[in-house]
Each structure stands twice: as C-alpha cells, then as structure tokens.
C-alpha cells in the first residue's frame, strides 16, 4: 500500500498569498536526462525517457489524490493514457501541453515542471519564464559533457534569486565510474560550477537504476536519495510544505468504483499509520526552522487524513471504531492547544500524542 501523507498543513501565506505552491523546476539541454532525474527523484515512472523531449512542451506534475494524465495535442485533448505518453505513441511534435496529477505524499504543496532547452541550445521566452519562477532549480547536465559553454551562458543569464536554491544534477555519471574521468569531472565542476549551485550531485540515471529506485539501498547508491534529501531540505523550509494535494475533479474510471480488493485490513491500516509516523519523525528533525504551531498542524492534519482516508477504507471492527474515536479526540485536543500559540513544546506534545495512539491501538 502506498504511504499515506502526513504532511497536509494549513500555513498562513502572509506576503506570498499570490503563490499557491512550491515550484520545483527540472531543466537542462536536449537529452540531458531530465525525465530520468524526475523519475529517480520521485521513485516513480512518471515521464517518458525514450522520446525526443525537446519536441515536448513543459510537463507539469502535481501531487494529487488520484493519478490522471491530461495530454493536449493540436487535434485531440485529454483522451490519451499514461501508456501513450510513456511509450512514445503520441507524436511529440503535436503535443501542446502535459499535465500530470499523481499521488506524491512527500511533495504535497509542490509542483514539478520539466523544461527542455531547444535542441539548438537556445531558451524560449516562455520556458525562461518558468525557470525564473522556480523556488528550486534542478539543472541537469550530462556527465560526458557536463557544464558546457551553452549551459554556462544560460545559467549566467538567470536572475540571482533563482540560483539561491539551485542544484546541479550530473546525469549518467555511471558512465564515468571506474576511470579517472569521474574524479576529473567532479573536480572541474567544483572549480567552475560551484559558484552557481548549492549542491552538485553525481547520479546514475540508467534505466536499471530507475527501475530499482524502490529499493532504498539501490536508490541511495544511484544518488537519488541524496538528491531527494537536498530537495526536501529546501522544500521543508517553505510555507507550502505539506499542503493538501489537489482534488481531481474527475477521477479515472478505473478508480471511481473501488472493488472489494481495495478494502484494507487492520494490518494495512497499521502500515499506513506507520508511514505517516515516519513522515512526521522526519519532519520533526526540521521543525526548528518552523514555528511550533506550524509543525503541530502537520501532526493534526496527518491524523485528519488517517481518519478521512484510511479508516473508511478499512474493514470495520471494534478496534477500528475505537481508533477513529480516539483519533477524533486527539485532533480536537491539538486544535484546542493550537489556540495558544505561545504554548511551549506543542510540536513535541502533538507527536507524543500520535505515538501514544500508535502504541494503544496497534501494539
């Protein structure tokens, strides 16, 4: 069962009310491995890696409660399936927009946009505008020709605020292993590109590495986890981190009528709540950068999501009935404490309450 997000929160947006999400932009030259980077980062096969991506418009990926691909072409809109895009059965030159909604619990509150530079090395104005609006830029550069002159000219022309949160992702670095080339490339990038990027990460973006990304050890070996950790470190400091995912107005037919096999057992409910606790535990490590009440809202929202999404899908038992009642009481307790913004330790109090619920009902 997929992890249930613990990170739906209700932040006050203050001076950034016009923005609705955290913009992660994955950009780079033609054939630089942008799609592979996205699939590796998200540990999901979301965007195609075997097509001429320079012919495709920017792909916008948004966390959602259901998976839904909206692909528009000059002659047809919204009738294509995920497989059509991934298998390259759509003529790329005819595609006018790609919008992908998919469950990404750890990226709730963000959008990920893939932007390709023209094959001639130029950057169209509309794509430049997308990059300049990035809250976090991941620039992809292929290992064998990393940080070439055309890339340098594009990066140098970007406004400085864009580069305040920028990562250089060196793709296909696996081709450089077991030779002196890897160390030479790393040393050169440290000298020439360090001033433009907060992080420089060498990545194995081979198909085998992406296919094995669900294995944590292999994901770490590929460099995917390091990229994920760096992205999350920046994302967590934003007021959009953990916002509720988009509700898809029209779910795919396959998802609209759950079958009996979609019913969860108590053990599966436990697994979902364990995933939530892991998310909360990770978030608590970064809570020092947030107001206590903001993190407490994450705990409360995690409980709300568990009650609203997991419990209704679980086989009804006396235990599950008591779980729902106890979670409802815990949610109310946190809400009452949140009314006192000055309360010391509200984040840890909320987390302790979540752990207490874990021990009491799931052993």
For 271-325, the DSSP string reads HHHHHHHHHHHHHHHTGGGS-HHHHHHHHHHHHHHIIIIIGGGBPP-HHHHHHHH
Domain membership of residue 28 (yes or no) is: yes
The predicted pLDDT at position 79 comes to 64
How far, in Å, CA of 186 to CA of 201, rounded? 9
Q: Which of 235, 267, 298 is the last residue of a domain?
A: 235
Query: What is the C-alpha separation between 172 and 177, in angstroms, rounded?
Result: 10
Q: Is residue 100 part of a domain?
A: yes
Are residues 37 and 163 located together in one domain of the fold?
yes
Claim to verify: residue 102 and residue 202 sit in the same structural domain: yes
**Residue span of the structural domain in which 200 resides:** 21-235
Q: Is residue 53 part of a domain?
A: yes
- Clarify whether residues 228 and 351 are in a common domain: no
Separation between Cα atoms, residue 268 and residue 266, nearest integer Å? 5
Q: Does residue 221 share a domain with residue 284?
A: no
Indicate the pTM of the whole model.
0.64
Strand partners, 70: 99
Do 54 and 168 fall within a single domain? yes
Kindly state whether residues 30 and 120 are assigned to the same domain.
yes
DSSP per position, 117-132: --TTS---HHHHHHHH
What is the C-alpha separation between 306 and 288, in angstroms, rounded? 25
Work out how many domains the chain is built from and give that number.
2
Pair (266, 183) in one structural domain? no
> Is 12 a member of any domain?
no
Among the listed residues 201, 226, 228, 223, the one whose alpha carbon sits nearest the alpha carbon of residue 112: 228
Predicted confidence at residue 294, as pLDDT, reads 66
**Strand order across the 59-63 sheet:** 68-73, 95-102, 59-63, 110-116, 22-28, 136-142, 166-171, 199-202
Q: Which two tokens stand for residue 148?
A: 């070439």
Q: Specify whether 175 is located in the same domain as 213.
A: yes
Task: Decide if 204 is inside a domain.
Answer: yes
54: number of Cβ within 10 Å:
14
Question: Scanning the structure block, which residue is given the tokens 């890897």?
Answer: 182
What confidence score (pLDDT) does residue 44 get? 86
264 shares a domain with 145: no
Claim to verify: residue 83 and residue 163 sit in the same structural domain: yes
The pLDDT of residue 284? 59
* Chain-centroid distance, C-alpha 4: 14
Residue 180 exposure: Cα atoms within 13 Å on the Cβ side: 0
Q: Return the structure tokens found at 200.
A: 């420089």
What angle separates helix 318-338 from helix 292-305, to the nearest 10 degrees? 160
Query: Residue 216 sits in a domain of what CATH number?
Result: 3.40.50.300
Q: How far apart are CA 14 and CA 247, in angstroms?
A: 24
For strands 110-116 and 68-73, give the pairing.
Answer: unpaired
Residue 3 lies in a domain: no
Question: Does residue 226 share a domain with residue 123?
Answer: yes
Q: Flag residues of the chain having pLDDT under 50.
A: 1-18, 52-53, 248-261, 287-289, 342
| Domain termination residue (choose one: 235, 267, 284) | 235
Residues 203 and 321 in one domain: no
Contact 43, 315 (CB under 8 A): no
Give me the pLDDT at residue 225, please: 93
| 124 is a domain residue | yes
Does a structural domain hold residue 15? no
* Residues facing residue 105 across a β-bridge: none
């Amino acid at each position: 069962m997929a992890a249930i997000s613990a990170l739906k929160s209700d932040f006050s947006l203050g001076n950034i009310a016009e923005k609705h999400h955290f913009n992660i932009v994955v950009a780079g030259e033609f054939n630089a491995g942008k799609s592979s980077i996205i699939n590796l980062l998200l540990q999901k096969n979301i965007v195609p890696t075997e097509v001429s991506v320079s012919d495709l418009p920017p792909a916008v990926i948004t966390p959602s409660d259901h998976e839904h691909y909206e692909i528009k072409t000059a002659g047809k809109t919204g009738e294509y399936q995920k497989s059509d895009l991934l298998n390259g059965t759509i003529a790329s030159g005819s595609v006018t927009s790609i919008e992908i909604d998919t469950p990404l619990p750890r990226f709730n509150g963000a959008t990920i946009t893939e932007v390709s530079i023209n094959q001639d090395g130029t950057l169209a104005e509309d794509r430049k505008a997308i990059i300049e609006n990035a809250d976090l830029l991941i620039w992809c550069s292929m290992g064998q020709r990393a940080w070439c002159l055309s890339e340098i000219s594009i990066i140098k022309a970007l406004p400085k605020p864009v580069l305040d949160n920028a990562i250089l992702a060196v793709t296909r670095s696996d081709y450089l292993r077991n030779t002196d080339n890897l160390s030479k490339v790393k040393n050169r990038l440290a000298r020439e590109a360090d001033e433009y990027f907060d992080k420089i990460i060498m990545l194995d973006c081979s198909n085998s590495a992406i296919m094995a990304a669900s294995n944590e050890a292999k994901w770490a070996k590929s460099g995917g986890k390091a990229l994920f950790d760096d992205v999350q470190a920046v994302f967590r400091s934003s007021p959009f981190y953990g916002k509720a995912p988009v509700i898809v107005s029209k779910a795919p037919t396959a998802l609209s009528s759950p079958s009996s096999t979609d019913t969860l057992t108590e053990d599966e409910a436990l697994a979902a709540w364990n995933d939530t606790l892991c998310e909360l535990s990770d978030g608590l490590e970064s809570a020092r950068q947030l107001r206590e009440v903001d993190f407490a809202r994450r705990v409360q929202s995690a409980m709300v999501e568990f009650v609203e999404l997991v419990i209704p899908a679980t086989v009804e038992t006396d235990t599950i009935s008591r779980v729902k009642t106890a979670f409802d009481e815990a949610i109310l307790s946190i809400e009452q404490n949140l009314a006192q913004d000055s309360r010391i330790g509200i984040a840890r109090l909320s987390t302790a309450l979540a752990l207490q619920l874990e021990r009491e009902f799931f052993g």
